[in-house]
Structure formats: structure tokens, C-alpha cells
């Protein structure tokens, strides 16, 4: 009766992986219980997910090597995997909110989120132009929200302008505003085969030691037109979630990332922790810190627990 914080299924956004082909459901080794689905099976899974009360999914594509190139041109192919999937999901499960990922790393041979020059430096502004094209193609397919996850400067403003110019005034932007260059993303990069082939992401993602910078990044994204701001990862950054919440009236999301998921699954598989209790305690801590929404690979499990 006097509990201050509650976790409900309405708080959850379920990240899901789509791949090409038919009749395929392949478990991700470092993320037990998470799968790459071909579109036909993904549609079935989304119907189930919706039935257990989840309102929204975040969609990530697994792009085959032969469709990758230096500049990620496949990312804005109107008939690409994501665009095709969005159209099919909208038809099959119209009530589910679709959030599409706007970043180049699944589409580039080098695995970086941006264009790379001859010295291996990631180029901000030319990348932003491609991100705007990619977001437009996703909006055109029917995405409800686009979610720039790359941390290039100025991308939220460029995407907002591109969407508005083409009449997509109702497509929202979920901005990965304070995204840290984190080792917790390892299992996700396995899932997508998207680990960077050289260097790291520290020139565009944030340093774990910084919190004022997070507030600055959030402020910029809001000024540029973000509708929801996100902190990522979640558990090691609860203080950042808290500070961001204090500094904005926009909804704040937290991304309970792949490494956080993998650690709980691994310990539970060894019988070292009580999996269900640790999941719920982790997610409630994110809400208590200030998250209004949580992207989590536990979404379906938690929805079933809360039923
Ligand atoms: C990249 C992207 C990453 C994640 C979501 N989008 C990884 C990265 O920045 O290298 C990580 C998600 C997770 O670990 O669960 N655009």
C-alpha cells in the first residue's frame, strides 16, 4: 500500500532481432532466451508479446555480410529487412508500437556507427546525412518511433527536420542521449555480428567517468526535438538516470542492455542467484532511479511474472 515505486508491463519495451529467411529461430549464445527470428516467426512472437500486454518493441536487424558495405547503403533501402519487417508487423499486429533503430553499425563492414575516413576516424556530419535517410525510410514503412542509437552530434535535429519535411510529423524520436562506450554491449554485438573491426566507439559514445556530459547531451537532444531521452546502459548508470530525470520533464528511458541480461542469465544458470527476484529487483531499481520506460530483454518474462 505504501510502496513508492511499481513496475508494470506498461513500462517495458522489448528489443527484438530480425533476420532474413523463413522458419528460422536461432538462439543467441551469449543471450540465452533471446533469438534472431526470421520475419514469419517474428510476427508470431510479436503477436504473443502483445497478448501478454507489452506495448512496444525495439527492432534490430541482423544483416548478412554480403549486404554490408563501407557506408551502410542497405540501411535506407526501402525494401530492406527493417523496412519490410515494419510493414509486415504493422499489418499483423497493428496495436504494437514499433521503435526502429537508426544507426549504421549493423550495415557497415567495419562495424562502426558512422562513415570512416582513411585514418579510421569516424566522420560525424556525413554520417548524420545517412541517418536522416534511414529514419525517413523507416517512417515511410510505418515506424512509430525512430531511435538514433549512434551518438553522432546533431542527428536528432537532422532527423526531426527530415521527418517533418516529408510530413511524418507524428513519428517520434526516442534519443539514445546519454549512451556510454560500454563493455556491456558485448553480447548484443554477437547477436548482430556487429563488433567494430578496429578501434572503439569512444569518439562518439561517452566516457564512463562523466555525468555532467550526460546532462549536456540530453539538453542538446531535447533542443533538437527528442520526444523521449534515454540513458544506456542502465544498472551501472542509475545515478545518470536519476540526474537526467531531475533535469527534464520528458519521459526518460533506460536501456537494460545485453551484458546486464547475460550476467543475470549466467549466474542463474549456475544456480547462484534467484533469477526472477534479481530481474524484478534490477528493473525496479531503474524505475526508482527515475526511468519511466525500460528497454529490456526480460520484457516478455517479466510480463508473464506480472500477470
Ligand atoms: C549500436 C547499438 C548497440 C546497442 C544498441 N544499439 C551497441 C553499440 O553501440 O555498440 C547495444 C544494446 C545492448 O547491448 O543490449 N547502434
Q: List pLDDT tens digits, range 249-282.
A: 999 999 999 999 999 999 999 999 999 999 999 9
Burial zone of 117 (CB within 10 Å; 0-12 exposed, 13-18 middle, 19+ buried) = exposed
Cα of 180 to ligand 1 centre, how many Å?
A: 10
Counting from 1 in the atom list of ligand 1, the atom nearest the Cα of 259 is 14
Distance CA 3, CA 276 (A): 19
> pLDDT tens, 291-301?
999 999 999 99
Residue whose cell numbers read 526502429: 100
Q: How far is the CA of 3 from the centre of ligand 1 (A)?
A: 33
Band of pLDDT at residue 158, cut at 50, 70 and 90: very high
Active-site position among 68, 179, 265, 300: 179
Residue 2 CA, ligand 1 centroid: distance in Å: 37
Which tens digit of pLDDT belongs to each residue from 59-84? Answer: 999 999 999 999 999 999 999 999 99
* pTM exceeds 0.85, yes or no: yes
Kindly state the cell numbers that stand for 186.
558485448
Q: Give the whole-angstrom CA distance, residue 184 versus residue 206.
A: 13
Split at pLDDT 50, 70, 90, the class of 193 is confident
Pairing of strands 228-232, 122-123: unpaired
Show the cell assigned to 46. 510479436
Atom of ligand 1 nearest to the CA of 184: 14
Q: What's the number of CA atoms in the CB half-sphere (13 Å) around residue 241?
A: 27
- What share of residues in the chain are helix, strand, coil (percent, to 5)? 45, 20, 35
Q: Which atom of ligand 1 is nearest to the CA of 15?
A: 15
What average pLDDT does range 182-203 have in this prediction?
A: 91
277 is catalytic: no
Q: Which residues line ligand 1 at a C-beta cut-off of 6 Å?
A: 101, 103, 105, 113, 149-150, 185, 188-189, 201, 257-258
Q: What is the mean pLDDT of the chain?
A: 97
CATH top class, domain 9-306? alpha beta
Alpha helices in the chain (DSSP H): 39-51, 81-92, 124-141, 155-165, 186-192, 212-224, 238-246, 258-269, 275-289, 299-306
User: What end-to-end distance do the CA atoms of the chain give, in Å?
Assistant: 19
Helix axes 39-51, 299-306, angle to 10 degrees: 30
Largest Cα span, the chain = 61
Rounded Cα distance, 174 and 252, in Å = 9
Which atom of ligand 1 has the smallest separation from the CA of 185?
Answer: 14
pLDDT of amino acid 191:
87
Tell which atom from ligand 1 comes closest to the C-alpha of 255. 15
Instruction: Choose which residue among 111, 112, 149, 186 to substitute to test ligand 1 binding: the one with the highest number of ligand atoms within 8 A of its C-beta.
Output: 149
* 265 is annotated as an active-site residue: no
Q: What is the dihedral of CA 234, 262, 185, 306, to 10 degrees?
A: -40
202 CA from centroid of ligand 1 (Å): 13
Q: How far is the CA of 28 from the centre of ligand 1 (A)?
A: 15
Hey, whose CA ends up nearest to atom 14 of ligand 1? 185
Tell me the C-alpha distance between 220 and 177, whole Å.
8
Using most ligand atoms within 8 A of CB, pick from 33, 105, 183, 298 the residue to mutate for ligand 1.
Answer: 105
Binned at pLDDT 50, 70 and 90, residue 192 comes out as confident
Q: How many Å is the Cα radius of gyration of the chain?
A: 18
Average pLDDT of span 2-18: 98
Which one of 232, 245, 287, 300 is the catalytic residue?
232
Strand partners, 294: 12, 254
Amino acid at each position: 500500500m505504501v510502496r513508492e515505486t511499481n513496475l508494470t508491463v506498461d513500462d517495458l519495451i522489448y528489443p527484438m532481432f530480425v533476420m532474413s529467411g523463413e522458419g528460422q529461430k536461432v538462439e543467441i549464445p551469449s543471450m540465452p532466451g533471446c533469438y534472431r527470428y526470421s520475419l514469419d516467426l517474428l510476427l508470431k512472437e510479436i503477436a504473443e508479446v502483445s497478448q501478454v500486454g507489452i506495448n512496444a518493441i525495439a527492432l534490430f536487424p541482423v544483416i548478412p555480410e554480403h549486404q554490408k558495405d563501407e557506408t551502410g547503403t542497405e540501411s535506407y533501402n526501402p525494401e530492406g529487412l527493417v523496412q519490410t519487417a515494419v510493414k509486415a508487423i504493422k499489418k499483423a499486429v497493428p496495436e504494437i508500437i514499433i521503435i526502429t533503430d537508426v544507426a549504421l553499425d549493423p550495415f557497415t563492414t567495419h562495424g562502426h556507427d558512422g562513415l570512416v575516413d582513411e585514418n579510421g576516424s569516424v566522420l560525424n556530419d556525413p554520417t548524420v546525412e545517412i541517418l536522416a535517410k534511414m529514419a525517413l525510410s523507416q517512417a515511410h514503412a510505418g515506424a512509430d518511433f525512430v531511435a538514433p542509437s549512434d551518438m553522432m552530434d546533431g542527428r536528432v535535429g537532422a532527423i526531426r527536420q527530415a521527418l517533418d519535411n516529408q510530413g511524418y510529423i507524428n513519428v517520434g524520436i526516442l534519443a539514445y542521449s546519454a549512451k556510454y562506450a560500454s563493455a556491456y554491449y558485448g553480447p548484443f554485438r554477437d547477436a548482430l555480428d556487429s563488433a567494430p573491426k578496429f578501434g572503439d566507439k569512444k569518439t562518439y559514445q561517452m566516457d564512463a567517468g562523466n555525468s555532467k556530459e550526460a546532462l549536456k547531451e540530453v539538453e542538446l537532444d531535447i533542443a533538437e526535438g527528442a520526444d523521449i531521452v534515454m540513458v544506456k546502459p542502465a544498472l551501472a548508470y542509475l545515478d545518470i538516470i536519476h540526474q537526467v530525470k531531475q533535469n527534464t520533464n520528458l519521459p526518460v528511458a533506460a536501456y537494460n542492455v545485453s551484458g546486464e541480461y547475460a550476467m543475470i542469465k549466467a549466474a542463474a544458470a549456475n544456480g547462484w542467484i534467484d533469477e526472477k527476484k534479481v530481474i524484478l529487483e534490477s528493473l525496479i531499481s531503474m524505475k526508482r532511479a527515475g526511468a519511466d520506460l525500460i528497454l529490456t530483454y526480460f520484457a516478455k518474462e517479466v510480463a508473464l511474472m506480472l500477470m
